Chain A
Amino acid sequence: MAKKWNMIVDIERCNNCRGCFLAVKDEHTGNDFPGYAAEQPAMGANWLDIERKERGVYPIVDAHFMPTMCNHCDDAPCMKVGGDAVKKRADGIVIIDPVKAKGRKDIVESCPYGSISWNEELQLPQAWIFDAHLFDTGWKETREEQQCPTNVFRSVKVSDSEMQKMAVEEGLEVLQPELGTKPRVYYKNMHFFTRCFVGGSVTGLVNGVDECIEGAEVILKKDGSEVGRAITDTFGEFKIDKLQPGSGAYELDVSSSVGKVASSFELAADSVYLGVLELV
């Protein structure tokens, strides 16, 4: 089976240093790669962009970053509208032909991910080309991988079945799978963007003094049955992650030798911080 390129992006490893973002600009601004991509406008065309997501409220907040770019879909909407202006290479990479696609703004609009940008000056739809021009001249990795200090990116050239196996084993997800576009860009730790957490600060009286309670057991329940569990840390804090947004009512029981407390909450779109839960 033919080996094809896939990109695996680990959200947990990204700290928004912007190395990849700048590498793409560096590679394509002022550089014309015939057959691959015409030059990128100096400003504003972010073929690779980085999305930001914050969850929670003080004091339990997290912030994560997700590089997004052309997904090089196997069932690409851009190819459906593009005709011979958009091609799929044998190695899986999708190339918007920088000559044939001239004037084809409809190709920009076809992408459900918004990953194709419009070059007003050249009247061209343009997207991240998976550094195909570099692979074709012997580079072993993409510029994004080479630039990244924390190994967010991993480009792998494997058969589709091997990739599916990896996706299952490593818990990889694609963006909006419901669209059926079959992206070749996979994400690890996508829950930082797509799921919620519930957190809280557990306190109690110890020798008559208000203290953080470490080691309390927190059990999260939905409809009476346990769906999550955590132990509070030094500061009495806990965090139970990967809850489905909008999943409704939950109950929470906290207990330790200091005492017990119960709470309940409604999970809407955002993560929930339950505040101080005082054991009695």
Chain B
Amino acid sequence: MKLAIILWGIPWAMRVCSWVYPKFAEALKERDAVAQFRTRGQPMGRWIQVKNGKVSSGAGFHAQPDFSIYFKDRKTAADFLTPPFDHLERIHAAKNFYITMEGPDDLIVWFMHLVASMETYTWTKGTDMGDGVTRYTNGTNGGPIFVYVKDGKILRTTPMNLDESDPDSYTIKARGKEFKPPRKTTLAAHGACQKSMVYSKNRILKPMKRVDFDHKGERNIQNRGKSEFVEIEWDEAIDIVASEMKRCKAVGPGAIAVANGSHHQWGNLGHYLSAFNRFWNLIGVTKLMHSPDSWEGWFWGAQHHWGNSMRLGATEPYGTIEDCLKNAEMMVFWSSDPDASYGFEGTQRRRWAKELGIKMVHIDPYLNHTAAHLGGKWISPKVGTDTAFAQALTYIWITEETYDKEFVEKRTTGFEEWKAHVLGEDDGIPKTPEWAEQETGIPARDCRALAREWASKNTYLGAGGWGIGLGGACRGPTGAQWARMMTILGAMQGMGSEGSNFGNLQFGAPVDMNFYFPGYAEGSMSGDLAYSANSTNNYQRMPHIVTMNSVKQVIPRMWLPEAIMGKPKLGYVTAVDSVVGQFFPIGYPSPGHVPVEMIYKYGSSSLGTQVDSNRWINMYQHENLKFVVNQSVWWEGETPFSDVILPACTVFERWDIGEWLNVGPGYVHHMYSMNNHRVISLQHKAIEPEGEAKSDYDIFLAISERMDLGAVFSEGGNSELEWCKRAYESSDAVKTMSWRKFLKKGYFVVPQEPEESRPPLGLNWFYEGRKKDVPEPYPLPSDFVENYGEGLQTPSGKYEFVPTTLKRFDDPERPPVNKYIKTFENAENEPEVAAKYKLRLLTPHSRYPFHLMGDDEGCFLRDIREHRIKVGEHHYLTCRLSREDAAARDIKDDDLIRLWNDRGSVVCAAQVTDRLRPGVISAPTASAEYRPAGEPGKSTDLGGCVNVLNPSKPITTKAHGIRPNGTLIEVEKWTGVDTWKPAAPVEAA
């Protein structure tokens, strides 16, 4: 089409759109502008004026345009402006300066967005249910949902029922039975309480400023967490934030740090790996080096034996669900409670296993949710002693010669050295069941019975929450030893042979694993090739402009307070591309960079999630930290430790898109195979934001515009909905369902994989000595020893009982031979602490909130008595303790109790139980609230932040990972009078 005609057509389209769509007419009135389109080469042009909502236009050049858009030539302009738009070509034009712009950034973004948005007015969103009700769809961390809306308010949210128009579900045939999952999605508690979260009284509805903070005068840093806040207008809030950012940028590279949680609301676009990363890459900031939270022992320990660095040390899940149901005779759940935090798709499959009569054994100091539901043998070792129990199992296998000798011979190295250790040839201590009994408290006969049953039966080892790794005992001080032992048990029983593998029926359902839809860790619109999985698929499938952070300084997340307070500690890199990458230390401050003086905190509350969390309070009140922004949806414990608060909206109040549990390639590749159906949902903007909350995207855009980065950030005025469309069109789903249909229906179920083309059984290739044939592109081609696809990601290509990589590194707590090292704070290694405190604390993830999402006051979850118990006016965090320990302290159900040690003190409500071994306390890290009885950081917390008790020591000396399980504490009835003080003086400024 000729350029003149196209340019003439744009204002006409705008006029027509404003006649037909009143909302567009309103948008036209927002601002006035004269846009000049022109070519650089052969001068021609047209101007378009928007004034008081009216559109006028003329050929040629306007005398006083507000902004100009230059095209290299007529052809470039015609291609750029003719729909349907080819994003690859458009980006190509922008990157190579075929197109340039001149004028106020915010006005250009506004105008470009206005023009681009015309198409969206023709779209129908959601399903009309009659009676004024529209059914929208959304996604949560707990599963996808239907959202019923009436009169602009959410009426209800439900799991999705699949109907006849959706593809059939898979069938698994096992031992004469056929199993088919229910035709609906399941939902974790934190997904089922979303309506109460949207309308929670804890929502932040207006931007706020601390009353005694003046960025041009007195900052009163010491009052963070104590002073009140006043509401301010968005303009003022953005002005302060942008001016402080400019001030910090002038100080030097790295002066601004961003701190985000590990998770976000569900959705590819709004995730921190997307809009947040894109924005901060454009600004240049010190980022946090997240540790491999929840994979600690697998990452720092297990991977040295078998590689799997891309999975953070966990193993491959393929085909294990079908194989377990068909061939396993026993399942050993070791520190494995999938029913706690991963939704209930796996619960359905574990019930099939129960129906088939597969024996179940549960090893956990707590008779966990999965164990209570399934039944079976409960083995409850003393906290941190699991390694001794596992070593004794191998002692039986060695002495009774019941390990898989052929596998050990052909596929492993180092067995003789390992065997010598187990038999006590190196240290004089044979690792007998009787020896283990002294450590674990488990009768030697139980150990022998389990070892013999395991060796004689096809056994699935469900290690950690997903069975293939993650969570549980891997998170304690002995977590690396434990995870290493799990791999040793697998190797000695021929992992990968039919019926003998890793898994607990949580991961590896026979869904289609080729069908592409982007996962959230692909970074969506981030353009961040360095710190997301963007480069693997998303960058090619959804062409968008690359962004890079020019600041090279990073801070190990565990040590953020120490870094800010001027006493930095060394961290280690969470490297996933190789096994040895984790040996690289990271320091702070980095060469040529400056110390951080501003933190931009993004969602979640570190006081609930980070160990030794009183450190955070000390950091926030430290004079080195000149400015703190907190961008949050809800008012949480950490929120008041800031200067300016920016209210973000929920995912129900903005657009997003995502697939249920699809993380993307990387640390949980094919995570959606935890589900029985792959469900992709459009996350409809179902309601307008509460109060003046804005989407994260719009907040970042507003700040960008203050720095003339708006057009770059939004890639020329793209709205969130347009980004959703681009994401959808990058996927394989669009080949089956058009964007318009998807927009209306809201979800797409991926057709099931035919039985004959399901992926092969995980590790079976290794067991049989074939080339790797499961559909994961790991390890990197360079990390195979000889031929591509042959062997494991170890220096030998074999399973290594005594890892070569640990031999090359010196960490006293990770000896190459996996010795049993007693847990910390015991009579031998820390006698003073052990004399003072007698109870060991477990702080698992909560079953009900997602970390602490859903714990805010006003959320339904607070009425769940296994999560919080209402005493007086307040809901206290539920803490489980054994009948014996309770009786010794005269504690009854629902009593308020205080948990304390030298690091912290916190009040909970008691749940007395027989499901815990005496001496063990279990209280989840689920508190969004922090409510100090006195001075913040120096008094007892009534909110339930049990992480104030956990130490900030790393999992092993030379690692960057937390160890939140097994901390020594004492417990007493709460007197109501706070006498607790930190044992050592808190470091002053």
A: which residues have CB within 8 A of B? 13, 15-19, 21-23, 25-27, 29-31, 42-44, 46, 52, 54, 56-64, 137, 143, 146-147, 149-151, 203, 209-212, 214, 233-237
Contacts and interface: CB of A to CB of B under 8 A. Distances in A.
12 contacts: A15-B372, A19-B344, A23-B158, A25-B863, A29-B860, A30-B195, A58-B380, A59-B378, A64-B372, A147-B159, A149-B344, A235-B449
Q: Which 9 A-B pairs have the closest CB atoms?
A: A149-B344, A149-B186, A15-B373, A22-B192, A63-B372, A212-B449, A25-B860, A212-B445, A61-B914
B196 A29 contact: yes
Nearest to A56: B914
B189 A22 contact: yes
Interface in B145-199: 153, 155-159, 161, 182, 184, 186-189, 192-193, 195-196, 199
Interface of B: 131, 153, 155-159, 161, 182, 184, 186-189, 192-193, 195-196, 199, 339, 343-345, 347-348, 351, 359, 367, 369, 372-373, 375, 377-380, 443-446, 448-450, 453, 848, 858, 860-866, 870, 883, 913-915, 917
Given A17-B189, A19-B187, A233-B377, 4 more contacts: A31-B155, A58-B917, A234-B450, A234-B453
A50 to B, nearest CB: 8
Contacts of B914: 54, 56-58, 61
Nearest to A141: B161
A150 B351 contact: yes
A61 B344 contact: no
A202 B448 CA distance: 14
A104 B537 CA distance: 63
A25 B156 CA distance: 10
B518 to A, nearest CB: 27
A61 B367 contact: yes
Interface of A: prevailing SS: mixed
B27 to A, nearest CB: 31
A149 B348 contact: yes
Nearest to B870: A44
A235 B373 CA distance: 20
Interface of B: prevailing SS: mixed
Contacts of B379: 59
Contacts of B860: 22, 25-26, 29, 42-43
B348 A18 contact: no
A31 B153 CA distance: 10
Contacts of A209: 445, 448
B64 to A, nearest CB: 52
Given A212-B446, A212-B449, A21 B344 contact: no
A233 B378 CA distance: 13
Of A19, A146, A203, A214, the most chain B CB neighbours within 10 A belong to: A19
Given A21-B864, A43-B862, A62-B375, A146 B156 contact: no
A23 B359 CA distance: 34
Contact of B195 (A29, A56, A59, A214): A29
Contacts of A26: 156-158, 192-193, 195-196, 860
Nearest to A16: B866
A56 B359 CA distance: 20
A27 B864 contact: no
Contact of B192 (A29, A44, A147, A234): A147
A134 B199 CA distance: 23
A15 B156 CA distance: 24
Contact of B848 (A18, A44, A147, A214): A18
B449 A15 contact: no
Nearest to B154: A30
A81 to B, nearest CB: 28
A16 B865 CA distance: 11
Nearest to B453: A234
A150 B863 contact: no
A60 to B, nearest CB: 8
Nearest to A19: B192
Nearest to B186: A149
A234 B159 contact: no
Contacts of B161: 146
A27 B157 CA distance: 8
B970 to A, nearest CB: 22
A68 B196 CA distance: 22
A63 B915 contact: yes
A214 B452 CA distance: 12
Contact of A15 (B159, B339, B367, B448): B339
A80 B344 CA distance: 42
B858 A31 contact: no
Contacts of A211: 445, 448-449
Contacts of A143: 156, 158
A199 B156 CA distance: 46
Contact of B369 (A16, A27, A210): A16
Contacts of A149: 182, 186-187, 343-345, 347-348
Contact of B159 (A25, A64, A146, A236): A146
A37 B863 CA distance: 20
A233 B195 CA distance: 47
B864 A31 contact: no
Of B131, B186, B858, the most chain A CB neighbours within 10 A belong to: B186
Contacts of B347: 15, 17, 149-150
Contacts of A64: 372
A61 B161 CA distance: 36
A19 B158 CA distance: 10
A19 to B, nearest CB: 6
A203 B444 CA distance: 12
Contacts of A203: 445
A235 B870 CA distance: 41
Contacts of B848: 18
Contact of B187 (A56, A147, A233): A147
Contact of B866 (A13, A25, A52): A52
B372 A31 contact: no
B206 to A, nearest CB: 22
A212 B450 CA distance: 10
A29 B367 CA distance: 34
B532 to A, nearest CB: 31
Contact of B344 (A17, A56, A59): A17
A63 B367 contact: yes
A210 B443 CA distance: 9
A143 B192 CA distance: 12
Contacts of A15: 339, 344, 347, 369, 372-373
Nearest to B189: A18
Nearest to A15: B373
Of A18, A21, A137, A233, the most chain B CB neighbours within 10 A belong to: A18
Contacts of A58: 378, 380, 914, 917
A203 B446 CA distance: 10
B864 A18 contact: yes
B917 to A, nearest CB: 7
Of A13, A143, A146, A234, the most chain B CB neighbours within 10 A belong to: A234
A15 B192 CA distance: 16
Nearest to B153: A30
Contacts of B345: 149
A237 B443 CA distance: 13
